[in-house]
A and B are shown apart, each in its own frame.
Chain A
Amino acid sequence: MNGMHVLEVEHLNIWEERSGRVLVHDSSFRLAQGECLAIVGESGSGKSLTCKSLMRLNRTGVRQSGFVALNGEDLSKLSDKEMRKFRGRRFCMIMQNGMSAFDPSRPIGAHLLETLGVHFNWSRAEMETRLTATMSSVGLKEPAVVMRSYPHELSGGMLQRVMISLAIVLEPDVIIADEPTTALDAVTAYEVVEQFMRLRERLGSAMIFVSHDLGAVRRIADNVLVMKDGGVVEHGTTKNIFAGASHPYTRYLVSSKQAMSRHFEQLMGDADVAKG
């Protein structure tokens, strides 16, 4: 087994059990230590399904086959109980919608402490110190207030930061971010993308960044995987994908984004614009 790759996915197939409809078809990719791979594509292309099946979190009725290995360990051979230990500690998922990712009936703090309690033998005080420190590092100004709040009292951007700070404390091998900026407005999305870039620098862990926002992808990713109708259309470095993609579908995705941003850049002239 190649030690260079943190995550290896080979011939991943996902299908619906009842109808036999294939949702993701023969997708293979690898993730090196510290690499950030972006998965892009339109909705319904199977991006989120791929991520969920890496963590074996697909809903019942959706079946998968293929080889998924984390640090050389075949995940499909693990029992559900063993898999549960992997999630969070080794694999960390950051969801699109913060509102539904947290338990609505409990304060954020209770949820976070419970998660940490499962994975570490830290005392409550130690967990709180670590959480407070990371929360302030991601720009949450009053960690104690945030910990006491319920999910509905915080904005989408704040919940996204809470998830990022939990990921920092957990120090996972692979972080999967599933459309983390889609539900946010432009300014908050910019700040969250900044936080993701810092997160990578800090942990050096590999990351899968799922998004249809090509601007964010261009800023953060090293490599890009393009999906369409459940299949991998193209896989290449971010530079190549944006400069000269070989597949017409990728070119179409990139060009429609560029038409808008080029117009904006022309408007702004040489004024200060964050470049992707």
Chain B
Amino acid sequence: MLKVEGVNKSYRQTDWFRKARNQVLRDIGFEWRQGETLGIIGESGSGKSTLGRLLLGIEEPDSGIITFGGKPISDRSTRRGAISAVFQDYTSSINPFFTVRQAILEPLRLAGTASRPFDIGKLLRQVGLDESYLTRYPHELSGGEAQRVCIARAVSAEPQCILLDEAISSLDGSVQMQVLELLKQLRTSYGMGYIFITHDIQAAAYLCDRVMIICGGEMVELVETEELKHVQSPYAKELLSKVIS
């Protein structure tokens, strides 16, 4: 469905005397199948968030092709209603001058479907909030609540895929678990899939069908979650042995 082929990405590094390019991603290729949950795991600086931005079409790769359903992802019309995102920093993800209602309706307004009848209350109840939140502003929400609003906003356009970039990493342990459960439940009710970018292997193993491990911009491993214990590469083995359970 979402197909990535031979993707490279580098950023220019300007030093005083020389110009160098910092290669962030090297020859990445994989496919996200419709309805599946794919985890992308890596340490900080491994290039996983850059990959996320490329998948969303926010940035373009230096070389390689990313397509969604056969059409290039860099095209706005391909992305619309197909893929949406939830980011780590929930405090900066919602316009501070918007109420929860405005924030959730924003993607619908942009897609031109806002005039259609839409049960916003039902959506809020699905993410564990209720109608009383509609008139609140982002600063009146706790971290978990704000992240739920972000998820509701991502779900509102009913996309086929939601990309979650460290979406639970800055939440408390117990709230993390609630959000993971919420994601699982939304998946069954909407039949959508996720791309779950995280450094938390346990959370990825809990939610994902397949897991991809990247290190230094290169894909090290792509396995079914059940096969996680049979990983071959030394890096993946080391990563798994350093989990504090």
Q: Which A residues are within 8 Å of any B CB, using their own CB?
A: 42-44, 155-156, 184-191, 193, 212-216, 219, 252-253, 256-257, 259-261, 263-265, 267-269, 271-276
User: Can you list 24 A-B pairs with a CB-CB distance of less than 8 A?
Assistant: A155-B44, A184-B44, A185-B43, A185-B44, A186-B199, A186-B201, A186-B243, A187-B199, A187-B239, A188-B44, A190-B244, A191-B242, A213-B173, A215-B245, A257-B177, A260-B177, A261-B202, A261-B245, A263-B205, A267-B225, A272-B237, A274-B243, A274-B244, A276-B244
Q: A155-B45, A260-B202, A268-B229 are known contacts. Are A274 and B241 too (CB-CB below 8 A)? A: yes
- Give the interface SS of chain A, mostly helix, strand, loop or mixed: helix
In the complex, chain B residues whose CB is within 8 Å of the CB of A275: 245
Tell me, in angstroms, the Cα distance from A252 to B202 when the chains sit together. Answer: 18
Tell me, in angstroms, the Cα distance from A253 to B174 when the chains sit together. Answer: 6
Given A187-B199, A260-B206, A272-B240, 14 more A-B residue pairs with CB atoms under 8 Å apart are A43-B142, A44-B142, A185-B43, A186-B201, A186-B242, A186-B244, A212-B172, A215-B244, A252-B174, A256-B173, A256-B176, A271-B229, A274-B243, A276-B245
A-contact 0/1 string along B160-195, CB 8 Å cutoff: 000000000000111111101000000000000000
Tell me, in angstroms, the Cα distance from A271 to B240 when the chains sit together. Answer: 9
Instruction: Determine how close the nearest CB of chain B comes to the CB of A258; give it in whole angstroms.
Output: 9
Closest A residue to B200 by beta carbon equals: A186
Q: Which B residues are within 8 Å of any A CB, using their own CB?
A: 43-45, 142-143, 172-178, 180, 199-203, 205-206, 225-226, 228-229, 237, 239-245
- Give the interface SS of chain B, mostly helix, strand, loop or mixed: helix
Tell me, in angstroms, the Cα distance from A252 to B205 when the chains sit together. Answer: 21
Instruction: Determine how close the nearest CB of chain B comes to the CB of A20; give it in whole angstroms.
Output: 21
Q: A263-B205, A267-B225 are known contacts. Are A193 and B244 too (CB-CB below 8 A)? A: yes
Tell me, in angstroms, the Cα distance from A229 to B32 when the chains sit together. Answer: 43
Sort A-B residue pairs by CB-CB distance and give the 3 closest, nearest first: A185-B199, A256-B177, A215-B244
Tell me, in angstroms, the Cα distance from A193 to B244 when the chains sit together. Answer: 9
Tell me, in angstroms, the Cα distance from A23 to B174 when the chains sit together. Answer: 21
* Interface pair B177/A264, CB less than 8 Å apart: no
Instruction: Determine how close the nearest CB of chain A comes to the CB of B33; give it in whole angstroms.
Output: 21
In the complex, chain A residues whose CB is within 8 Å of the CB of B245: 215, 261, 264-265, 273-276
In the complex, chain B residues whose CB is within 8 Å of the CB of A216: 244
